């Protein structure tokens, strides 16, 4: 099966004409139709930038310098702005942490949903209105017919998040990029939103890229996980490999920092000491070396490539420690 989306060699820089800083490089991401890819990493690791680049929604200071993003056989980066806009109206959608970035504050929720439904074409206005109410019902909004006549500000945070997801799936996109949409929500609502996206994905066959700093959130959700650090993908593997036999020390550190009750036998909570490097301060070798407990001399002189294992998993580490997470870490 060929990939729905395959990003290779993605490099993004920010800045002005005179000085630019590379914030994302050599990023490779791939997912098949209907699949879920988790993209995880600390703040500033380049997760959002990578997602925004796929949708042509980068902020004005940022630009794609290199790379391809093949979506259904065509390179997104070679398309015109108009073509990309049309794709965003139908085939690929993004949901953000702040729902108000994708909801129109002065338009009734039902009308916004109706427009999204109509974007796929071939749907009458009346039918689209009916589908809008159905979608509100599907995402768990009580009394959906009455709620459709309300404005976004009349919804609570969690409910607004659901409306935004309903908006995103209304046009039956093939790809949904969810950029930390649950971060501002409490844990219960968070897992409800995750379940909701999973349900909608099963129903509509949508592929989902979940961007998050929370590796625990992706357990049981993602088919594959790409771990990003300092603008690069440092490990990319099936969920099973990531959670049971991670090969990159950063992934191991992230797993070890997941607090109980996920890992009940874990007494202390060893966060990864140190901080990621400043992207303006480029040094030779692996960017994780200074924080890594497995570091060897070679790490400080040469950047390890994203090497492919026999199982098709990838890790950018010279050492690739053989660690098996206890079965309790099977979240």
Footprint of ligand ATP on this chain (CB under 6 A)? 14, 23, 41, 43-49, 59, 61, 213, 279
Q: Which is nearer to ligand ATP, 181 or 279 (CB)?
A: 279
Least Å from the CB of residue 247 to ligand ATP: 21
Locus of tokens 């609570």: 156
Q: Across the chain, which distance is largest between two alpha carbons, in Å?
A: 67
- What are the structure tokens assigned to 290, written together? 């200074």
Least Å from the CB of residue 233 to ligand ATP: 12
Least Å from the CB of residue 142 to ligand ATP: 32
Least Å from the CB of residue 156 to ligand ATP: 24
**Spatial separation of the C-alpha atoms in residues 72 and 57, rounded to whole Å:** 19
Cis omega (within 30 of 0) on the bond before 179?
no
Locus of tokens 């580490």: 317
Other Cβ atoms within 10 Å of 121 Cβ, number: 8
Least Å from the CB of residue 279 to ligand ATP: 5
Q: Which is nearer to ligand ATP, 100 or 296 (CB)?
A: 100
Q: Which is nearer to ligand ATP, 48 or 131 (CB)?
A: 48
Q: Which is nearer to ligand ATP, 148 or 226 (CB)?
A: 226
* 317 and 234 Cβ atoms separated by less than 8 Å: yes
Least Å from the CB of residue 228 to ligand ATP: 6
What residues form DSSP beta bridges with 24?
12
Position closest to ligand ATP via CB: 48
* 204 and 120 Cβ atoms separated by less than 8 Å: no
Q: Which is nearer to ligand ATP, 141 or 228 (CB)?
A: 228
Other Cβ atoms within 10 Å of 243 Cβ, number: 23
Sheet containing strand 207-212, strands side by side: 92-95, 175-179, 207-212, 36-40, 224-229, 232-238, 314-315, 307-308
Q: Which is nearer to ligand ATP, 4 or 14 (CB)?
A: 14
């Amino acid at each position: 099966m060929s990939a729905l989306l395959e990003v290779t060699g993605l490099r993004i820089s920010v800045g002005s004409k005179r000085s630019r800083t590379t914030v994302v490089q050599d990023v490779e991401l791939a997912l098949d139709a209907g699949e879920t890819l988790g993209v995880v990493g600390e703040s500033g690791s380049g997760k959002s930038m990578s997602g925004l680049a796929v949708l042509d929604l980068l902020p004005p200071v940022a630009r794609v310098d290199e790379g391809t993003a093949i979506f259904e056989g065509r390179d997104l980066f070679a398309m015109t702005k108009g073509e990309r806009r049309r794709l965003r109206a139908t085939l690929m959608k993004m949901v953000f942490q702040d729902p108000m970035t994708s909801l129109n504050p002065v338009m009734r929720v039902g009308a916004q949903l109706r427009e999204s439904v109509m974007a796929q074409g071939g749907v009458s206005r009346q039918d689209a209105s009916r589908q809008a109410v159905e979608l509100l019902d599907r995402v768990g909004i009580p009394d959906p017919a009455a709620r459709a006549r309300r404005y976004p500000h009349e919804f609570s945070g969690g409910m607004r998040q659901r409306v935004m997801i309903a908006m995103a799936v209304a046009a039956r996109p093939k790809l949904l990029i969810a950029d930390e949409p649950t971060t501002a929500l409490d844990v219960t609502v968070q897992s409800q939103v995750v379940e909701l996206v999973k349900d909608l994905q099963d129903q509509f066959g949508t592929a989902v890229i979940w961007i998050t700093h929370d590796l625990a959130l992706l357990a049981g959700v993602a088919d594959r996980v790409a771990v990003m650090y300092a603008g690069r993908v440092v490990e990319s593997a099936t969920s099973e490999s990531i959670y049971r036999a991670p090969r990159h020390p950063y992934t191991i550190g992230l797993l070890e920092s997941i607090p109980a009750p996920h890992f009940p036998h874990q007494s202390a909570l060893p966060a990864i000491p140190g901080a990621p490097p400043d992207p303006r301060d480029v040094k030779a070798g692996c960017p994780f070396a200074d924080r890594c407990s497995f570091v060897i001399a070679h790490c400080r002189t040469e950047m390890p490539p994203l090497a492919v294992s026999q199982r098709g998993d990838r890790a950018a580490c010279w050492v690739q420690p053989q660690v098996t997470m206890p079965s309790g870490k099977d979240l």
